[in-house]
Amino acid sequence: MYNEKARSFGMKVVLNLSGLVLFFGIWELVVALGLVSEKKLVAPSAIFVTFLDKLTNVVPDGNTIIVHTWTSLELVLLGFVLSCLIGVPLGLLMGFFQPANRFFTPIFEIIRPIPPLAWIPIVIVVLGIGIQAEAFIIFVAAFVPCVINSYTGIQATSKTLLDVAKTAGASKAQLFFKVGIPSALPMVFTGIKISFGSAWATLVAAEMIASTVGLGFMIQQGRNAVRPDIVILGMSVIGLIGALLTSLLSILEKKALPWRNLK
C-alpha cells in the first residue's frame, strides 16, 4: 500500500517536472534561435539573472524584488482574508436561511456583475489612495467566489440528512452548524481557492492606484523602462507564489476534510 502511494506520488512529481522542463526548454530554444527577438521575449536564463540582480538592485523601480514581493503578499492576503471572513458566512447564511437569502440576494446580484476594475474611480474618491483602496479592489475580486460557492455548497445539503436530524430533534441552529456547514465545506474550500486566484489576478490592477511599491508597480515600471525581463520576472513571481499558496490551501483542505481522500 505504502509502495503504491510512493510510486504514484513519484510519478506525479516526474510528470510535473517534465512539463516544466519542456516548457522552459522550448522557451529558451525559441529565443536562442532568434525566432523571437530578445527585446520582445526574454529567455528564462536571462530572467533568472535579472532575479538574482533584483535581490539587491533597486533599479528601475526603487526597491528590491523581496520588498516588492512582501508588500504585494501583504496586500493580497489582507483583501483575501477579509473576503473570506465576510463572504463565506454570508454565503452560508443566504443558502440556509430564507430571510437572509431574500434580504441579501438583491444587493449581491447587483454587485456581482460589476468588474473589480470598475470600482477604482469611486474607491479613490471614497478611500483615497493607499493600501485601503488597493485592498478593497482585491477584496471585491475575491468576495464573489466566496459567497457563490458557500451558498451553492450549503444549498446542496442532503435532504435525507436534514430530515434525519430533524427527526432526532435538532434545532434550526443545530441543523445549520452540524449538518449544513459540514456538508458545504468542500464547496467552501473550492470557493476559497478560486477567491485566492482572483485576488492575485487583480493585484496588478489594484497596484495601479498610486502605488510606489509592489509586484504590480514593478511590472509597470519595467514596462515604462522597456525592460521585458523585469515585466516577465514580476509575472513569474506572481504565478509562482500563487501556485505555492494554492497548493498550501489544497493541503489544508485535505487535512480539514479527510473523508474526501477515502477511496
Domain of 238, CATH number, reads 1.10.3720.10
Domain that holds residue 135: 42-261
Do 29 and 49 fall within a single domain? no
DSSP state of 179: I
Same domain, 152 and 219: yes
Q: What is the pLDDT of residue 5?
A: 66
Q: pLDDT tens, position by position, for the chain (263 residues)?
A: 556 666 776 777 788 889 889 999 999 999 999 898 888 889 999 999 999 999 999 999 999 999 999 999 999 999 999 999 999 999 999 999 999 999 999 999 999 999 998 998 899 899 888 889 999 999 999 999 999 999 999 999 999 999 999 999 999 999 999 999 999 999 999 999 999 999 988 988 888 777 889 999 999 999 999 999 999 999 999 999 999 999 999 899 888 888 766 54
Q: Which residues, including other chains, have CB under 8 Å from residue 240's CB and lie 6 or more apart?
A: none
Domain shared by 12 and 119, yes or no: no
The grid cell for 66 is: 523581496
Q: How many helices (H) and strands (E) does the chain have?
A: 12, 0
* Ramachandran category for residue 182: left, alpha or beta (phi over 0 → left; psi -120 to 50 → alpha): alpha
Same domain, 1 and 99: no
Q: Are residues 147 and 255 in the same domain?
A: yes
The pLDDT of residue 256: 86
- The number of domains in the chain is 2
